[in-house]
Structure 1
């Protein structure tokens, strides 16, 4: 009998150790959901990705509180999220999901941070699409405590560039970024112009005030983990505003 008790204690200790290992490096936050059962309400958003299906992000997405969103610098980042089942009855235990940051969850200062103002600073909060939230939480719970951590983004194909704007205001949306998922800096070089830095306009949109129409465009993109990829002539000289071009180059995982 004593041996059985000892074995049970050892099993419990190992389980606790494994649980602690899983939590190591994870942060605490909270999560709600939005966008409806089909996630239609999540399309668009403060990163500028537009239709999240055609952009390759689907419904495994989240709007981040401003403490995480970082004025758009977090657009495209990937996070693993799991419900903190020790502190909520609304968890679906044993499930971890990966979501991509595609939107901002704005602060609501008319509500207290612990009762409705879930995205108020300094809260680290995920307003997830309903389909992915329901993988880790019970619908009637509404809000759950979570553990979360950054994780590498896995993408198919190369980095994508969508060019909009006008002759002297070129706006480039950069999507399908693997690795860190988010972009820190961008430069552009036209076939008839020198290399020049671009500035973040909003979300994942980067701007140049140079006249680039009629030129083939080369981009250098630096991710937030410090890696840079150079994409030569990814946009051909015959490009038109509103077109998208996918490179054969991608960030390593």
Structure 2
């Protein structure tokens, strides 16, 4: 009779776990245990607004190269703005080549269904625009297995700051972020002060500060998930108004 001691069992568990991780991620950074579907139409009529706070993906520079992420990838909104390369694999419906997309929305789970549960945890899933899906698979597939990996975001121009709120509360949508793409810290400095003030995440990539900053010039420090920071000094003039967008530096 074969006896397995506790220490031996522990090492067996470690070996199996490492083996599974190696199967899911290959040497080029690809994660292979994911799927993709699509929504909307070829014109992207359903790409406006979403859980990241971006208000018009066409006007704000994201276009149709976007995706809604499942719970496992969305990470409570922290993934907003991150960029991915995606490739269809292991299906007769696949087309050659890859696509690159920006995470701009959330694909919510549906726990009332026993089928079509691609966005339920713990599944890694990308709900693409129809145009992007058709770059990697045929329409009839509906859903295909994919592999994906994080890639640097390439954006035109600088980081954009959309100012919203009221006299006692400033809400800033930060978008068009290059590099890592996903912002995890924002600070603001008014022209009548030398101090940088910490902003808090309201939702998605909307950042807030409870102060009356009307009539003051504004500067921003934006830090992404890789720890890099870019500072845009006096990017907003003192005569700014709510609803206006201003452009700063980019990574």
**Paired residues of 1:162 and 1:174 also in contact (CA < 8 A):** yes
Query: How far apart are the structure 2 equivalents of 1:117 and 1:192?
Result: 52
Q: Secondary structure of 1:71's match?
A: helix
Alignment partner of 1:41 is 2:46: yes
What do residues 125-181 of structure 1 show as CA deviations (whole Å, max 9, x unaligned)? Answer: 000001001110111110000000000001111111010000111000011100001
Whole-angstrom CA distance in 1 between matches of 2:78 and 2:236: 24
Structure-2 residue corresponding to 1:56: 61
For 1:62 and 1:33, locate their aligned partners in 2 and report how far apart those are by CA, in whole Å: 9
Deviation readout 1:8-28 (Å, 9 max, x if unpaired): xxxxxxxxxxxxx98632112
Distance 1:111 1:224 in 2: 34
Q: Which residue does 1:3 correspond to in 2?
A: none
Aligned to 1:196: 197
Counterpart-to-counterpart distance in 1, 2:113 and 2:236: 47
Match of 1:109 in 2: 111
Instruction: State the partner residue of 2:231.
Output: 230
Q: Tell me the equivalent position of 1:167.
A: 167
Shift of the 23–80 alpha-carbon distance from structure 1 to 2, 3 Å rule, reads: farther
2:135 aligns to what SS in structure 1? coil
1:27 and 2:31 matched: yes
Distance in 1 (CA, whole Å) between partners of 2:245 and 2:250 is 16
Distance 1:23 1:225 in 2: 21
Where structure 1 has 5 or more consecutive residues not aligned to the other structure, the ranges are: 1-20
- Tell me how far 1:36 sits from its aligned partner: 1.7
Large movers: runs of 4+ above 6 Å = none
Task: Report the secondary structure of 1:68's partner residue.
Answer: helix
Q: Is the 8 A contact 1:23 1:147 kept in 2?
A: no
Question: TM-score, normalising length from structure 1?
Answer: 0.86
Equivalent residue for 2:7? none
Between the aligned partners of 2:168 and 2:145, the Cα distance in structure 1 is: 47
Q: TM-score by structure 2 length?
A: 0.87
For 2:41 and 2:204, the matched residues in 1 are separated by 23
